[in-house]
């Protein structure tokens, strides 16, 4: 039997729209750094839950959960012979294009296509899809192209049927009174479709009728946007299909946009899509793709096209403005180039005076938070923040040892006000508070807003108003303006900065020996040195933010939440991770002081 031609699914189309070469890598299942990515998996889980809620809103709907595409299309055809029917994950194929709409409603000859998305939407605001000039806003383009691709197939198959297109999304202006809603879903039925890609669904253990009357999803008509997009989608889909039968890679010029390619594999992988596109141009060290905000430099893609991919191939004149001056970003780029070439650490001499100006005690704070699409607690909005943990290292006086304090929520209740009260008690209004980037300030502002009408504590309200005025010093901004190390490349995340000074400063390692660990003869970063703990017979790590969210959910809402031993292990993992993030700020601050005092 001849092999069935490859069909272009909506996911294939979306992949190819991002980069046509990636369609080839996807079809051949090249290793992707998205595989096993905890953040992507967390987003996917939220998407499955929203899909589960949407399906439950149609009690008469018939699921078409057949994984085989051909059989699913046949089942769909039989159901569509009915005068009226609602289908979940129906299957359609037309002219080589394949799609499984989340929800399809047939009433007579009229079809309503509903695409369910776990993207935030606020129905109290004007339609977000269009710019002031009338064009589709880029942030919405992929979502609208997704439903337009499916609409194209339905229009080809049912040209006489009127078609209505809608997005169904979580509405940030709505809440639910169902407490612990997130914990009432169980991810299961994981299987592969006949393309070899996993599919998963959620089952709901709560009161379905209550959910139907008290959900937070909204339906938005997108017919006009679909009409605008279909001509281009039809054209592009034709190009992508031609590259699939037989399968061949579409030529794509390499550019700075390749920087975050998911097909850039680990060194031990045999197949590396990024390297196949770039060849030996991928080997330059330091690489031009490492440049801080390099995508804003107009000449950079011309250099790449000319085969010049070293950071040092970029002329300094390319970083100047039209009037010949160098802006703040250009200055940062020049600092990176100059000090990478000299292999030198750069510390702005003015940083010393800035650090000396901060009043003691010095408080270094870090929060662990979660803003999931399906709320944890009654009365919460989708994507509303829950603050479940803080860590603080305090240096009470010059040359004093840092003192650590912490707080973590262990109850299945809304934690934000207790979180803020405990932090207020620790920090007071004396000294200087430090954070890395702006997350902590944003969370405190959120809690201040959440208090309105819900929680009366004037002392806390006054303190939150004061500290978000702002009073907190952003160490990421200090880094951007006053510090660079070649090992940071073009990044200023706390982990990247800490790793650089950890590698460069032996005295720092001698002061904090608990975080010194080598692997295969290489010194690991402190975050990678964090030990795993055994939970349910498996080694579990928490060394980044998404892992902390997952650990919190497992501790309070997971299948082993009644297992006190497991809960204690999750708690320990969370505490040791958050403690290191604030200690990291102490280490960086101390490194700066040490280097400046040595000059």
DSSP at 322: T
The span from the CA of 251 to the CA of 443, in Å, is: 45
**CA Rg, the chain, in Å?**
27
Share above pLDDT 90 across residues of the chain, in percent, rounded to a whole number? 80
The span from the CA of 538 to the CA of 547, in Å, is: 15
Q: Does any domain span residue 45?
A: yes
Q: Does any domain span residue 267?
A: no
| pLDDT score at 1 | 44
Q: Does any domain span residue 571?
A: yes
**Mean of the pLDDT values across residues 19-23?**
96
Tell me the sheet residues that pair with 244.
247
And the tokens for 4? Answer: 């069935």
Indicate whether 545 and 587 sit together in one domain: yes
Q: Model confidence at 330, in pLDDT bands (50, 70, 90)? A: very high
**Mean of the pLDDT values across residues 351-363?**
97
Q: Is there a contact between 389 and 409 (Cβ–Cβ < 8 Å)?
A: yes
Torsion over CA: 535, 539, 544, 546 (sign) = negative
**Mean of the pLDDT values across residues 306-318?**
96
Residue range(s) defining the domain that contains residue 318: 256-261+272-344
Q: In this model, does residue 201 exceed pLDDT 90?
A: no
Which residues have C-beta within 8 Å of that of residue 558, sequence separation ≥ 6?
Answer: none
Q: Does any domain span residue 41?
A: yes
SS (H, E, C) 167-183: EEEEECCCCCCCCCHHH
Indicate whether 285 and 331 sit together in one domain: yes
Indicate whether 308 and 429 sit together in one domain: no
> What's the CATH number where 502 sits?
3.30.420.10
Q: In this model, does residue 500 exceed pLDDT 60?
A: yes
| pLDDT score at 203 | 87
Q: Is there a contact between 175 and 380 (Cβ–Cβ < 8 Å)?
A: yes
Indicate whether 516 and 592 sit together in one domain: yes
Indicate whether 54 and 147 sit together in one domain: yes
And the tokens for 261? Answer: 């390619």
The span from the CA of 351 to the CA of 479, in Å, is: 10
Indicate whether 338 and 357 sit together in one domain: no
| pLDDT score at 189 | 58
> What's the CATH number where 31 sits?
3.90.320
Torsion over CA: 252, 257, 263, 264 (sign) = positive
Query: What are the pLDDT digits (tens) for 391-430?
Result: 999 999 999 999 999 999 999 999 999 999 999 999 999 9
Q: In this model, does residue 353 exceed pLDDT 60?
A: yes
Query: What are the pLDDT digits (tens) for 145-182?
Result: 999 999 999 999 999 999 999 999 999 999 999 998 98
Q: Does any domain span residue 567?
A: yes
Query: What are the pLDDT digits (tens) for 240-263?
Result: 999 998 999 999 999 999 999 999
Please identify, among 304, 327, 344, the residue that sits at the C-terminal boundary of a domain: 344
Please identify, among 314, 344, 374, the residue that sits at the C-terminal boundary of a domain: 344
First to last CA, the chain: 77
The span from the CA of 128 to the CA of 126, in Å, is: 6
Select the more confidently predicted residue: 103 or 124. 103
Please identify, among 280, 312, 344, the residue that sits at the C-terminal boundary of a domain: 344
Nearest to 596 by CA among 360, 353, 343: 353
Indicate whether 280 and 421 sit together in one domain: no
The packing angle between helices 416-427 and 439-451, to 10°, is 120
Q: In this model, does residue 388 exceed pLDDT 60?
A: yes
| pLDDT score at 323 | 85
Query: What are the φ/ψ torsions at residue 292 (nearest 5 degrees)?
Result: -60, 120
The span from the CA of 51 to the CA of 111, in Å, is: 20
**Mean of the pLDDT values across residues 348-358?**
96
Q: What is the largest CA-CA distance in the chain?
A: 83
Q: Is there a contact between 360 and 395 (Cβ–Cβ < 8 Å)?
A: yes
What's the domain count of the chain?
3
Q: Does any domain span residue 439?
A: yes
Query: What are the pLDDT digits (tens) for 271-301?
Result: 899 999 999 999 999 999 999 999 999 999 9
| pLDDT score at 560 | 72
Indicate whether 524 and 423 sit together in one domain: yes
Q: Model confidence at 498, in pLDDT bands (50, 70, 90)? A: very high
Q: Does any domain span residue 144?
A: yes
Which residues have C-beta within 8 Å of that of residue 140, sequence separation ≥ 6?
Answer: 128, 129, 225
Indicate whether 304 and 220 sit together in one domain: no
Indicate whether 402 and 294 sit together in one domain: no
| pLDDT score at 198 | 56
Q: Does any domain span residue 192?
A: yes
Q: Is there a contact between 402 and 409 (Cβ–Cβ < 8 Å)?
A: no
DSSP at 469: T
DSSP at 325: -
The span from the CA of 554 to the CA of 531, in Å, is: 18
pTM above 0.85, yes or no: yes
Q: In this model, does residue 195 exceed pLDDT 90?
A: no
Coil/strand/helix, residue 105: strand
Q: Is there a contact between 578 and 585 (Cβ–Cβ < 8 Å)?
A: no
Indicate whether 299 and 150 sit together in one domain: no
Indicate whether 312 and 371 sit together in one domain: no
Report the chain's mean pLDDT, rounded to a whole number.
Answer: 92
The span from the CA of 147 to the CA of 229, in Å, is: 10
Which residues have C-beta within 8 Å of that of residue 27, sequence separation ≥ 6?
Answer: 6, 12, 244, 247
């Amino acid at each position: 039997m001849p092999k069935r031609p490859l069909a272009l699914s909506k996911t294939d189309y979306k992949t190819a729209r991002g980069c046509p070469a990636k369609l080839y890598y996807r079809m051949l299942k090249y290793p992707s750094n998205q595989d096993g990515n905890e953040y992507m998996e967390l987003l996917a889980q939220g998407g499955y839950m929203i899909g589960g809620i949407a399906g439950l809103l149609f009690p008469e709907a018939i699921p078409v959960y057949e994984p085989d595409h051909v059989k699913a299309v046949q089942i769909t055809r039989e159901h569509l012979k009915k005068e009226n029917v609602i289908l979940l994950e129906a299957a359609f194929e037309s002219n080589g294009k394949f799609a499984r709409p989340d929800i399809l409603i047939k009433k007579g000859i009229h079809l309503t296509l509903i695409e369910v998305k776990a993207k935030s939407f606020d129905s109290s605001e004007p339609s977000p899809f269009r710019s002031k000039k009338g064009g589709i806003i880029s942030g919405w383009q992929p979502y609208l192209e997704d439903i337009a691709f499916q609409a194209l197939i339905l229009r080809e198959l049912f040209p006489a049927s009127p078609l209505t297109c809608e997005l169904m999304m979580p509405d940030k202006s709505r809440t639910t009174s169902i407490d612990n809603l997130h914990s009432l879903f169980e991810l299961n039925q994981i299987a592969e479709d006949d393309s070899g890609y996993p599919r998963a669904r959620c089952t709901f253990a709560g009161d379905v009728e209550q959910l139907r009357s008290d959900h937070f999803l909204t339906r938005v008509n997108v017919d006009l946007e679909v009409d605008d997009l279909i001509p281009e989608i039809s054209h592009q889909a034709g190009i992508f299909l031609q590259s699939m039968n037989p399968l061949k890679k579409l030529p794509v010029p390499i550019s700075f946009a390749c920087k975050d390619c998911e097909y850039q594999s680990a060194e031990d992988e045999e197949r590396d899509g990024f390297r196949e596109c770039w060849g030996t141009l991928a080997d330059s060290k330091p690489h031009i793709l490492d440049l801080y905000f390099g995508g804003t430099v107009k000449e950079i893609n011309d250099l790449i096209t000319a085969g010049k991919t070293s950071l040092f191939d970029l002329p300094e004149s390319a970083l100047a403005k039209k009037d010949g001056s160098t802006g703040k970003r250009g200055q940062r780029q020049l600092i990176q180039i100059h000090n990478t070439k000299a292999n030198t650490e750069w510390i702005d001499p003015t940083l010393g005076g800035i650090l000396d100006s901060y009043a003691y005690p010095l408080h270094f704070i870090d929060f662990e938070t979660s803003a999931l699409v399906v709320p944890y607690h009654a009365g919460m909005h989708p994507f509303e923040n829950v603050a479940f943990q803080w860590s603080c290292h305090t240096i009470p006086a010059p040359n004093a040892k840092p003192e650590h304090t912490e707080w973590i929520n262990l109850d299945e209740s809304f934690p934000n006000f207790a979180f803020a009260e405990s932090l207020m008690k620790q920090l007071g209004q004396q000294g200087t508070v430090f954070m890395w980037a702006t997350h902590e300030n944003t969370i405190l502002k959120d809690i201040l807003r959440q208090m309105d009408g819900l929680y009366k504590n004037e002392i806390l309200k006054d303190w939150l108003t004061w500290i978000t005025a702002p009073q907190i010093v952003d160490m990421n901004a200090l880094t951007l303006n006053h510090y660079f190390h070649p090992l940071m490349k073009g990044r200023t995340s706390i982990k990247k900065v800490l790793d650089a000074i950890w590698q460069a400063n032996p005295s720092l390692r001698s002061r904090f020996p608990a975080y010194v660990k080598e692997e295969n003869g290489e010194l690991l970063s402190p975050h990678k040195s964090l030990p795993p703990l055994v939970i349910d017979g498996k080694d579990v790590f928490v060394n980044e933010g998404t892992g902390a969210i997952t650990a919190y959910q497992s501790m309070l809402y997971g299948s082993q939440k009644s297992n006190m031993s497991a809960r204690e292990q999750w708690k320990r993992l969370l505490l040791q991770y958050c403690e290191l993030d604030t200690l990291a700020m102490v280490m960086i601050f101390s490194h700066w002081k040490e280097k400046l005092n040595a000059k």
